[in-house]
A = this chain, B = another copy of it.
Amino acid sequence: MGRGRLGARPGGAGSGQQRARGLPEAGEAVTASQRLAELGIELPDVVPPVASYTPAVRQGDVVYTAGQLPLVAGALLHTGKVGDGDGLVSEADAHAAARVAALNAVAAAASAAGGVDNIARVVKVVGFVASEATFTGQPRVINGASDVLQEIFGDAGVHARSAVGVAVLPMDAPVEVELIVEVTTP
């Protein structure tokens, strides 16, 4: 589980940084909204569904999100299939897209949870990567989602995950990310 610890990643919201900026010491709770502020991330508005469904549903202590695309203000950050070669989305761009899709998923989950600080932990992530037939780096792409979840939620952001390469995604998006999160009962 060490991968999810604060400070375990270069550039993450490490405990050293937290002390330097006056955030809580080890042992004190750091909320997701404090980490978002620390990271300079503003959660996006919930993306309206592109069809007949809703962005997230709560069932008991669990929230399921809809599959989220890398939409920024209504436009896809990148389009196309991921791979090496002309006309394909690079792995680096796909990684950035996975991060955006994950932020949209957090916004969706937060809306059903009554706020991001009611998300107790991230349980499961499924990341679909629209993949050219020879591209096998789906795990590195979906790390764009996994890493930002751990930046926001710390240890509680460490999740089980599946990453698969699919033929094509809605709107020709390169990635689609869905979450299952546990929420606190307010």
Contact = CB atoms under 8 A, between A and B. Distances in A.
Interface stretch (A25-33, A36-44, A175-183): A175-183
Contacts of A138: 168-170
Contact of A124 (B57, B132, B182): B57
A154 interface: no
Nearest to A148: B52
A4 B53 CA distance: 8
A63 to B, nearest CB: 8
A51 B137 CA distance: 10
Interface string A70-105: 000000000001000000000000000000000000
Contacts of A162: 66-67, 126, 128, 176, 178
B159 A53 contact: yes
A51 B171 contact: no
Q: For the complex, would chain A's binding face be called helix, strand, loop or mixed by DSSP majority?
A: mixed
Contacts of A146: 51-53
Interface in A1-37: 1, 3-4
Stoichiometry, copies per complex:
3
B170 A163 contact: yes
A45 interface: no
B56 A163 contact: no
Nearest to A8: B52
Contacts of A135: 168
A57 to B, nearest CB: 5
A169 B162 CA distance: 10
